Amino acid sequence: MAELTTLARPYARAAFESAYADSQLNEWAHALAIAAAVSSESKVKQLLAAPGLTAAQKSAAFADVCGSELSDKIKNFVSVLADNKRLALLPFIETLFADLKAQFEKAININVTTAFEISAESQAQLVIAFTKKLDRVVTLESTIDESLIGGAIIRAGDTVIDGSVRGRLAKMTDAMNS
């Protein structure tokens, strides 16, 4: 997977730079999300992997499936991907583009997983605390996983803070077994 991300990175950067230059970050993000979803469908994967089709035929078929959701610039981008046999990278390109957009906008998505539902007041306090700590606009998503027993697991980008009872018990078990 790291290899595919490495291959996708220059395309994501090129897409971001083009979108930024045209002040169309949101439009590109939306279109790339659609393109990534379409490229993940099994029938589309079969179409894109068909050896009998040229790159131009693949990009035209892909653009037809996406319909009016893709602007001419994005269709050209898809055509370049097809020419370079990189259409399968669209999900990775979309993820990397979203990361670049979030960095530019100084935004971050944080996922808080708890054993029990947390109140709206507690969520608001977490947003305020993370906004101050990270100096970013924070979007908080809360999920429930009863297997945690108690505490919380917080995921912010590549950072994971495991303050769950299950995590602490696992650490104690590892310490006792070593």
Its CATH class, for the domain covering 2-102, is: mainly alpha
| Mean pLDDT, rounded, for 66-88 | 89
Residue 17 main-chain phi, psi, to 5 deg: -60, -40
Task: State the DSSP H helix or E strand holding residue 142, giving kind and residue range, or none if neither.
Answer: strand 137-144
pLDDT digits (tens, 9 = 90+) for 8-21: 999 999 999 999 99
pLDDT digits (tens, 9 = 90+) for 47-69: 888 888 898 998 888 888 888 88
149-155 long-range contacts, CB within 8 A, separation 24+ = 149/115, 150/115, 150/116, 151/114, 151/115, 152/112, 152/113, 152/114, 152/118, 153/112, 153/113, 154/110, 154/111, 154/112, 154/113, 155/110, 155/111, 155/112, 155/113
Domain boundaries, the chain: 2-102, 106-177
Residue 159 main-chain phi, psi, to 5 deg: -90, 130
Does residue 141 surpass a pLDDT of 90? yes
pTM: 0.68
Residues of the chain with pLDDT > 70: what percent? 99
Model confidence at 2, pLDDT cuts 50, 70, 90, reads low
